[in-house]
Chains A and B, each alone.
Chain A
Amino acid sequence: MIGEMYSGYLYMAIAIWIFSGLFNLGVDRTNYGQFEMKKEQKASTVLGWINLSLGVLTFTGAMIIKLLV
């Protein structure tokens, strides 16, 4: 399914996941830290790691399926 049906935009989605995860971790987390907004900083960290993990996992999964298919 992943290799055939969604191949057109899956890699774009993976790139956006990774980009948004890195942005949350690199930019938002730093900014909130500077303004001492602890709750927002923690939320940025969590959300950043979620997106980064989803991007990496989806990429790994797509590669594995592509190798198997």
Chain B
Amino acid sequence: MDQQRQITVLQASAITISTIVGVGVLSLPLAAVRAADAGAPLVTLLGAALSILASMLIVWLGMRFPNESYIEYSEKLIGKGLARTIIIIWILYFAILSSLIAREFGEVVITAVLRNTPLEVTVIVMLLLAAFTSRKNIMTFAYIHTFYIPFILVPVLLIVALSLKNADVVNVLPLWGNEPSGIVKGFFMLSTMFQGYFIMMMVIPSMRSPKKAMRSIWLAMLITSILYVLVVSATVSVFGAEETKKLLWPTLELAKDTSLPANILERLDAVFLAVWVTAVYTSLFSCYYFTIYSIGKLFRLQDHGMLSFFILPFLFLLAMLPQSLVQLNEINALITQFGVALTIAYPGLLLLVSLLRKKRGNQKQ
């Protein structure tokens, strides 16, 4: 059996879920209430719906070329020159995204956990971890994600469920918020929180049955959407929209307020942060791996291991560039919006060209 074609449907779903659920989960309710006040759950749901459509585009495209990497079929469809130019932009985007994830992780850790630790240390530790683990093949990549998925999903769902005892339904009414006009702009913004589905472009050629890729993306997006809507609903129902707007990391505050029944254990933010570190690692791992995988495929290298340490110092410098948390959030918003456009427009363009030119890859596995 081909060692590189062993990823099952569930593993592919686990990869996608753990890529999506990451550093953004802390500030997700803030983005949602800024867009739609009490209508935050609705705007999150709409953002999820848009992401599901975008992810289906990517998977549909990947299923048409099950034996080729996205770089190979891009070159086939739109020519080498244009494809390579766009892929270089793609690689730069994911490299910057990796550095932003590492930086945001560092900011949260030095604020909430290790207050005397320099920011550089937290950033480099996470980047080093991603660099070391990215040297392995895609099956190791899949195993790592599959291993961590229960540790991410179960505690988050538990904390959300326990927080609901402090919830007040009035805080999430009206369902469409006090300013429904914000919903249209807001749901595009919220869809940036789900853009981890890009990882399917890398996973499909390594799937045991690429024909089942649509099932895995559906499962992944469904679970992530439900999780995110629950997190936003719980936060807004506990704090209310106006209070949530004043919190930098509302999900963390929600975990702080949550306790086990009969107050057996309080301040669950410690548990939540431990889980969150895992979630951030898996997201960063995916972005990092995708970056070096893409560079390796672009230069037709059989192994991408040597690239993992090559890009490390550059990502570290990129991560350290923002001078403050405010600047980081501004850059983050700009980059992620550009990224959503990129991850929808480029695969959409390729799919359109593929359909118009009636080009498919070799369907034999």
Query: Footprint of B on A, CB under 8 Å?
Result: 6, 8-9, 12-13, 16-17, 19-20, 23-24, 28, 31-32, 37, 39-40, 43-44, 47-48, 50-51, 54-55
Interface residues on B, range: 10 to 19
Given A9-B320, A47-B310: A16 in contact with B124 (beta carbons within 8 A): yes
Given A9-B320, A12-B124: A43 in contact with B312 (beta carbons within 8 A): no
Bound state CA distance, A50 and B312, in angstroms? 13
In contact, A44 and B306 (Cβ under 8 angstroms): yes
In contact, B307 and A47 (Cβ under 8 angstroms): yes
User: Is B305 located at the chain interface by the 8 A CB criterion?
Assistant: yes
Question: Can you list 16 A-B pairs, Cβ within 8 angstroms, ordered by A?
Answer: A6-B320, A9-B120, A9-B317, A9-B320, A12-B120, A13-B313, A13-B317, A20-B312, A20-B313, A24-B310, A39-B301, A47-B306, A50-B310, A51-B310, A51-B313, A55-B313
User: Is B94 located at the chain interface by the 8 A CB criterion?
Assistant: no
- Chain B neighbourhood of A40, CB < 8 A: 301-303, 306
In contact, A37 and B303 (Cβ under 8 angstroms): yes
Instruction: Mark B272-308 against chain A: 1 for CB-CB distance below 8 A, else 0.
Output: 0000000000000000000000000001111101110
Bound state CA distance, A23 and B131, in angstroms? 12
Bound state CA distance, A55 and B312, in angstroms? 12
In contact, B317 and A23 (Cβ under 8 angstroms): no
Given A12-B124, A40-B301, A43-B299: A17 in contact with B306 (beta carbons within 8 A): no
